[in-house]
Structure 1
Amino acid sequence: MKALSLATVFAALSGFIVVYVASWALDVDRAAEFQAYWGLFFAATGFLDGLMQETTRAVSTARESGRIGSGRPWRLGTAIGVGALALVAVSGFWWMPLLVTGDTGSAVALMALGLLSYTFQSVLSGILSGLGLWTRYAWLVALDSGIRLLLALLAWALGWTMLAFLILTVIGAAMWLVVLALSSEARSAARALVDVDPAPLARRVGSAMLATGAAAVMITGFPVFIQATTTESTPGNVTVAGIIMAVTLTRAPILVPLQRFQSALIVRFVETRDSLLRSLGVPVALVLGLGVVGGVLAWLIGPWILSTFFKDGYEIPGLILAILTFASACTGSLMITGTATLAREKHRAYVAGWVVASAVAFGVLWLAPLTLEAGVCVALIAGPVAGGLVHVWALRRMAVPASGAS
C-alpha cells in the first residue's frame, strides 16, 4: 500500500506538471487546444473508470466469498472499448475541429485508440486491485503518469509540435501492455474470476460507468461549464479565467490521488461490510481534515503562487482559494461514500448520489443569483453534500448485507 501511496502522489504532481509545461512549450492558442483535448480525454476515461471499479468489486468479492460467476471482464472490456473507438471515429471529425486545429485527423485517431486501450487498462487495474496486488497496481499508475511526464519534458526541451502533446495525452493508456509483458504475476492475475455472470456484470458495469461518468463531468467538466454559462456581464470580482484556474489548482492535490485510491477503498469496504458506516467515517474525516488544512494554506500562500507563476488575470483572493480547497474535499468525501455504496452493491444509489450532486452543483451555478465566485463556491459544496447524503441514506437503510444489485 505504501507503493500505491507514492504512485498516487506522483500521478497528481505529474499531471499538473504536464499541463504547466504545455503552457510554456506551446503558444497560447495551441496550449488552450491541448488543455481542451487533455480534459476531454480524461473526462471520457472517467466513464471507463466504472469498468475498473466494478471489476475490483467483482474480483474482490469472489476472492472473499468464494462465489464464482461466469462473467469475463476482458470480454466485456473489449466490447466497451470497440464501442468507444467506433463512436469517436464516426463522430470525431464533426466535433474535434472545435477543439483542435491543424491536427484533426491525428487527434481523432489518437483519441479513439487511446480510449480503446484504456478499457483494457481499466480491467487490469480492477483485477490487480481486487486481488490486493498493490505493488503491481502502483507500477501501472506510475508508468501511466511517468511516460506522459517524460514525453512532455522532452517535447519542451526539443521543441516538438502539438502532435507530440496529443500523443502523450493518450500514451499512458497503453501501460497495461508493459505491466503484462514485464510481470508474470500480473499475467497470472489477469485470469482472475468474478462473482457474477455476464448479464449482471454488464448491468453493474453500466451503472458504475454512469456514476463515474457523472463524477467525471462534475470534476473535469465543471470548469468548462463555468465558461459556457458565464458572460462578460456576470457580476463578480474575479475573471472567468481566474476562477477556472483556481478550481483546477485546488482540486488536483486532493482529488487526483483519491481517484487512484478508489480501488483500495472498495476492497476496504468489502472487507468491513458489517461495520461499513464506522469504517466510512475514518477516510471521510481524513479527507475533510485535509481540506481544512489545505484551505488554510491556500488562503496564506495561494494568491502569491498565482501572482508569481501565472500571467495577469488569474488573481484570486485567498478566502476564495480556501473555500474552493475545502470544496474539493467535499467532492472527495462524495467519492468515498460512492465507493462504499458500490462495495455494498447499491448500484442505483451510487449512480443517484452522483447525479444529484451534479444536478445541484450545476443548478446552483446556473440559476442562483450569486456573483461568479460565490456561485462556484456554493455549487461545489452544496452539490457534493447533497450527493453524499443520498449515499449515506442508502447505506443506513441496509439492515442486512446485500446479495445483489439494487
Structure 2
Amino acid sequence: MKAESAASGLRSILVATAIAGVFGYAIQLLAPRMLQDGSSYVAFSVFWSALYLGVSAMSGVQQEVARAAHPASGEPPTAVLRTFTLWAGLVVVCVSVIVAVWFGGALLQAGVPSVAAIFSVGLVGYLANAVLSGVLYGLRLWTPVAALIVIDVVIRAALTITGFAAQLPTAVLALFVAIPFGASFGIVWLWVRRRVIGAFRLDVSLSRLSAHVVGTVGAAAASGVMITGLPMLIGVIAADEPAAVTGALILAITLTRAPIVIPVIALQSFLISAVFRGGRVLPGRLMRILGLALVAVAALAALGWLIAPPLITWVSGGRFSVDGWMAATIVASAGLVAAMCVTGPALIAARRHLANAVGWGVAAAATILALAVPGDIELRVGTALLVAPLIGLLLQAGALLRRAGDPVAANPPGPVG
C-alpha cells in the first residue's frame, strides 16, 4: 500500500468527515424526537458528552503518533508503540473506573460496574483506533483513515437509531455508542495489518513518546471541555434547571457548532502530518488565515441568529426553543474554537507541546470558571462560549508569531526504535 498524495488525502478525509457528519447529525436530530421525553434526551446527551470528552482527550494520542510516525519500509518491527498502547489501555481502564465511582450516577443511570464497563469499552476501543489512525497518518495512507472514520459512525448510527426506535434503556444506548470504536478498529486492522507492521518508525523513544502524549492529551482534554464536554458541564452545573432550559442549550450547542467545529477537528492530524510538517509558520499567512476566520465567524453568527431558533424548535418537535442572540453566540464560539484547532496543530508540528497545552488549558479553565459563577444560566453559557476560546486563540497565535519561521527543531533526532 503506497503513500498517497496530500491532495488525495485531503479529499479522502473531507469526504469521510462529510459522511460521518451526516450520520452523526442524524443521531443528534433523531434523539430529541425519538427518546421518550426531555429528561431522557438530557440523560443521553450528558453521557454522550462525557464519553466524547474522553475521546477528545485521547485524540491527543493520535496527534502525537501522527507526528512521530515515519515510513521505514523493510525494517523489522519494534515494540515501542505496542508497549505504549498496552500501558495506555491500562491507564484508560483505571480512569474509567474512577469516573464511574465518582460521577457515574450523574453521567448514566446505571450501577458503577456497568458505567465502568461501558466507558472502558468505548475508551479502550478509541485508544486502539487513535493509535492506528496516527500510524496511518504518518504513513500517509489516507484511504484506511477515511475508512476508520466512516465505519465507526455507520455502525454507531445503525445501533443507536435502532435503540431509539425500540425505546431501549439509556444504559443499552450508551453501550451502542461505545462499541463502534473498537469494532471499526478491528475491521480496518484486518485490512491493513500486513502493510503496516514493519513499515514505520517513530522518531522518539518510549519515554519521550509518553511525555509528548501527556502534553497532547492534556491539550486535547482541554479542547474537549470546550467542545464535546460542554453538554456534560451544562448538565452537571445546571442540574437544578428545568429540562426544557438545559435541553434547549444542549441541543443548540450540539446542532449549530458541529458543522463548523467537527470538520476542523477531523483534519487536525492531517494538518500535522501534511500541512505543518517541517514546523515553519509564516506570520503573514497566519494573520491572513485568522483574519478570514474572524470574518467568517461574524457572517456565520448572523446566519445563526436568523436560522437556528426555528431549526431548534422544529428539530425538537416543539420541546425546546432558544433565543437568536444565544444561537449567534454559540455559532461565533464554534468559529473561534475551529481557529484554535488550526493553531494547535501548528504548535504540535513545531514540537511546542507546552504552548499548545497552555492555550487549551487556560481556555478550558476559563470555560469552567464562567459556567461555575452564579447567575443566569444563559448568560453564564454565553460568556463561557465566547470569552474562553478567544483567550486561548490569542495565546496560541501569540506563541506561533513569537517563533514563526523557526524549524521544528534545530537538530531533530533520528528515528528511534
TM above 0.5, yes or no, is yes
Quote the residue 1:310 is aligned against. 316
Q: Within 5 A, what are the aligned runs for 1:206-355?
A: 206-230=214-238, 239-271=245-277, 273-281=279-287, 284=290, 287-312=293-318, 314-355=320-361
Match of 1:76 among 57, 67, 84: 84
Matching of residue 133 in structure 1 with residue 138 in structure 2 = no
**Contact kept in structure 1, 2:13 and 2:146, CA below 8 Å:** yes
Per-residue deviation, 1:56: 0.7
Moved more, 69-78 or 264-273: 69-78
Three-state SS of the structure 1 residue aligned to 2:201 is: coil
Q: Distance in 2 between matches of 1:168 and 1:232?
A: 28
Normalization by structure 1: what TM-score? Answer: 0.86
Q: 1:288 to 1:264 in 2, by over 3 A?
A: farther
CA distance in 1, matches of 2:296, 2:273: 22
Change (3 A) 1:139 1:288: farther
Letter in 2 for 1:7: A
Cα distance in 2 between the residues matched to 1:364 and 1:351: 20
Aligned match of 1:396 in 388, 398, 401?
401
| Equivalent of residue 53 in structure 1, options 47, 56, 63 | 63
Correspondence for 1:387: 392
The residue aligned with 2:212 is 204
* Residue type at the aligned position of 1:380: L
**Superposition deviation, residue 223 in structure 1:** 3.3
User: Which residues of 2 match residues 48-197 of structure 1 at below 5 A?
Assistant: 48-59=58-69, 62-63=70-71, 72-89=80-97, 92-93=100-101, 95-102=103-110, 105-174=113-182, 175-183=184-192, 187-188=195-196, 191-197=199-205
Q: Structure 2: how far apart are the matches of 1:165 and 1:259?
A: 25
Question: Quick one: distance in 2 between partners of 1:122 and 1:16?
Answer: 22
2:20 maps to 1:11:
yes
* Equivalent residue letter for 1:225: L
Output one character per residue of 1:54-84: Cα deviation in whole Å (capped at 9) or x when no partner. 001112xx459xxxx9882332122111111
- Distance across 1 between alignment mates of 2:12 and 2:310: 33
Quote the Cα distance in structure 2 between the aligned partners of 1:321 and 1:100: 28
Partners of 1:395 and 1:70 in 2: CA distance: 34
Offset at residue 37 of structure 1 (A)? 1.9
Q: Decide whether aligned partners of structure 1 residues 283 and 5 sit closer, same or farther in structure 2, where only a CA change above 3 A counts.
A: farther
How far 1:340 moved relative to its partner? 0.8
TM-score in terms of structure 2 length: 0.84
Contact 1:361 1:383 in 2 (8 A): yes
Structure with greater contact order relative to length (CA < 8 Å, sep ≥ 6) = 2
Higher mean Cα deviation, 92-101 or 347-356? 92-101
Checking the alignment, whether the CA contact within 8 Å between 1:272 and 1:279 is kept in structure 2 is no
How far apart are residue 298 of structure 1 and its match? 1.8
Amino acid at match of 2:326: I
- Distance 1:278-1:164 versus aligned 2 partners, 3 A rule: farther
Aligned residues: 394
Separation in 2, partners of 1:352, 1:249: 28
1:329 CA displacement: 0.5
Question: Could you tell which deviates more after superposition, 303-312 or 288-297?
Answer: 288-297
Cα deviation digits, residues 72-122 of structure 1 (max 9, x gap): 233212211111113324662553233333565433212112212211111
Q: Secondary structure at the match of 1:316?
A: coil
Q: For 2:336, give the aligned amino acid.
A: C
The answer to whether the Cα contact below 8 Å between 2:362 and 2:392 also exists between their aligned partners in 1 is yes
Distance in structure 1 (CA, Å) of the matches to 2:127 and 2:274: 24
Partners of 2:81 and 2:206 lie apart in 1 by 9
Cα distance change, pair 362–190 in 1 and its aligned pair in 2 (3 A):
farther
- Matches of 2:384 and 2:248, distance apart in 1: 17
Tell me if the contact between 2:156 and 2:176 (Cα under 8 Å) persists in the aligned partners: yes
* Deviation digits for residues 213-269 of structure 1 (CA, Å, limit 9, x no counterpart): 1111121223333454458799xxx94443333222221111122211111111234
Shift of 1:311: 4.9
Rounded Cα–Cα distance in structure 2 between residues aligned with 1:161 and 1:233: 23
C-alpha displacement of 1:154:
2.5
- Indicate the SS of the match to 2:276: helix
| Structure 1 runs, 4 residues or longer, greater than 6 Å off | 231-234
SS in structure 2 opposite 1:101? coil
Contact in 1 for aligned 2:84/2:210 (Cα 8 Å): yes
SS in structure 1 opposite 2:320?
A: coil
SS at match of 1:274: coil
Secondary structure at 2:351's aligned position in 1? coil
Q: What is the one-letter code of the residue matched to 1:110? A: I
- The answer to whether the 8 Å contact 1:269/1:279 transfers is no
- Give CA-to-partner distance per residue, 1:188-237, whole Å, 9 cap, x none: 26752111111111100111111101111121223333454458799xxx
TM-fit CA distance, 1:323: 2.6
Q: Which amino acid aligns with 2:59?
A: D
In 1, are the aligned partners of 2:49 and 2:230 still within 8 Å (CA)? no
SS at match of 1:271: coil
Aligned-partner Cα distance in 2 for 1:35–1:226 = 10
CA distance in 1, matches of 2:324, 2:40: 30
Deviates further, 303-312 or 73-82: 303-312
Q: Which moved more, 1:287-296 or 1:132-141?
A: 287-296
